[in-house]
């Protein structure tokens, strides 16, 4: 009989995610995939999965599950303790779960996204090379739908190579904090801002607003950013923050009407008519996914050399993670 788990309660915004899909952005299909790629990979490695097996990404509030098969489970990323048949277990640790067990999760005390990896991975079919759920396009995940009570999630065959390193040491976990500096490369349409608007963006402290999801993160609390006045170019729209609709880089920051910055994340709308003023560097995208509403951010401008150095450091962290499990 095939292995599976049953969803007793879906939680707040639980979805099936993996490394995401590439090569379809020109058709409006964004990469999707785990918002915190590092933690998703750590969770998989803890249970002996290939690091890109599909997992459950939990946002702010976890699901309730019934294990219909014996399996090994680990939670990585945000601090959200598993409670198995009433007993609390640590995060970032591989736990053997017996068939018939009832698994729920504690309140997410730090971070915004926890990854539940289960041995064998969640074995829904791949769509365009990924099992990741993309809500707006209704593809991936379980039949392209939001997870709901009673859903049965198929599990793949476990590799059988469970590691002796059952616990992830502190230095190999994603650092979590209620305040984070997010490094960005200025550019795109930042010349449309006034000098004062540009200074304000980097000087002010911004809080994550309640509208923060896989599509984009909205920030508030900073002063409004002034754009330079201009004659609207044909097709652009009348607001000074409007442009002729253009592609949006993943991680790009737009400020509609100069009021609230929005960072596009992995389920981004692929284009639109608002001027983008900077782009989060690839190494810091995971940090955004771990920010709850009301966490605060400062945007730090870096140049391309610094962005590439940070990218190399991120890859070194991943290499260290893999080396730990290969040892």
Partner 1 sequence: MSLRYTFGGDEFLFVEISEAMSLESFFKGMAITRRLAAANLDGIIEICPANASYQIRFNPDIISAETLLATLQGFETELANAPMRMDTRLIEIPVFYNDPWTNETGARFRERHQDPTSTDLAYAARINGYAGIDEFIAAHSGSPWFVSMVGFVAGLPFMFQMVEQERQIEVPKYLRPRTDTPKHTVGHGGCFACIYSVRGAGGYQMFGVTPAPIFNPAQEQGYLKDSMVLFRPGDIVRFKPISRAEYDTALDAVAAGTFNLNIRPVSFDLAQFLHNPSAYNRQLLGDAA
Task: List contacts with partner 1 (CB under 8 A).
Answer: 22-29, 127-128, 134, 136-139, 144, 184-185, 187-188, 233-238, 243-247, 249-252, 269-273, 276, 279-282, 304, 307-308, 311, 315
- Shortest gap between Cβ of 289 and partner 1 (angstroms)? 16
Assign 3-class secondary structure to 66-89.
Answer: EECCCEEEEEEEEECCEEECCEEC
* Residue among 105 and 299 whose Cβ is closer to partner 1: 299
**Minimum distance from residue 105 beta carbon to partner 1 (Å):** 30
Q: Is 129 exposed, middle or buried (0-12, 13-18, 19+ CB in 10 A)?
A: middle
Q: Determine phi and psi for 172, rounding to 5 degrees.
A: -105, 10
Q: Name the H helices within the chain.
A: 37-46, 195-203, 285-289, 304-326
CB of 51 to partner 1, least distance (A): 18
CA distance 192 to 275: 8
Contact 183, 308 (CB under 8 A): no
Q: What is the DSSP string of 3-38?
A: -EEEEEE-TTT-EEE-S---S-GGGT----S-SSHH
Placement of tokens 């939670």 in the chain:
75
Nearer to partner 1, 76 or 307 (CB): 307
Nearer to partner 1, 141 or 156 (CB): 141
Q: Which is nearer to partner 1, 96 or 215 (CB)?
A: 215
Closest contact distance (angstroms) between CB of 288 and partner 1 is 12
Question: Whose Cβ is closer to partner 1: residue 221's or residue 237's?
Answer: 237
The least CB distance from residue 240 to partner 1, in Å, is: 12
Q: Residue 162's beta-bridge partner residues?
A: none
Task: Pick the closer one to partner 1 by CB: 122 or 264.
Answer: 264
Helices 304-326 and 37-46, interaxial angle, to 10°?
A: 10
Find the shortest distance in angstroms from Cβ 76 to partner 1.
24
């Amino acid at each position: 009989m095939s292995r599976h788990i049953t969803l007793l309660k879906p939680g707040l915004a639980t979805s099936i995610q993996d490394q995401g899909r590439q090569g379809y952005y020109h058709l409006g299909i964004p990469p999707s995939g785990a918002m915190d790629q590092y933690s998703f990979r750590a969770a998989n490695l803890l249970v002996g999965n290939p690091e890109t097996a599909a997992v459950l990404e939990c946002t702010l509030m976890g699901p309730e599950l019934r294990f219909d098969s014996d399996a090994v489970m680990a939670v990585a990323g945000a601090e959200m303790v598993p409670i198995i048949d009433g007993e609390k277990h640590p995060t970032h640790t591989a736990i053997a779960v017996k068939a018939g067990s009832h698994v729920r999760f504690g309140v997410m005390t730090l971070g915004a996204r926890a990854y539940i990896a289960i041995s064998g991975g969640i074995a829904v079919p791949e769509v365009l090379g990924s099992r990741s759920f993309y809500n707006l396009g209704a593809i991936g995940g379980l039949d392209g739908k939001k997870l709901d009570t009673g859903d049965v999630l198929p599990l793949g065959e476990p590799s059988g190579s469970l590691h002796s390193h059952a616990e992830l040491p502190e230095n190999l976990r994603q650092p979590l904090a209620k305040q984070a500096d997010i490094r960005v490369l200025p550019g795109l349409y930042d010349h449309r801002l006034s000098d004062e608007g540009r200074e304000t963006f980097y000087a002010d402290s911004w809080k994550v607003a309640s509208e923060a999801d896989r599509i984009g993160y909205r920030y508030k609390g900073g002063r409004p950013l002034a754009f330079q006045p201009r004659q609207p170019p044909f097709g652009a729209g009348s607001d000074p923050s409007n442009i002729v609709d253009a592609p949006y880089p993943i991680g790009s920051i737009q400020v509609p009407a100069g009021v609230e910055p929005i960072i596009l994340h992995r389920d981004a709308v692929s284009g639109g008519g608002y001027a983008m003023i900077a782009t989060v560097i690839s190494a810091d995208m995971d940090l955004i996914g771990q920010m709850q509403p009301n966490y605060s951010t400062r945007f730090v401008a870096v140049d391309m050399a610094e962005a590439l150095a940070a990218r190399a450091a991120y890859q070194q962290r991943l290499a260290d993670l893999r080396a730990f499990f290969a040892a």
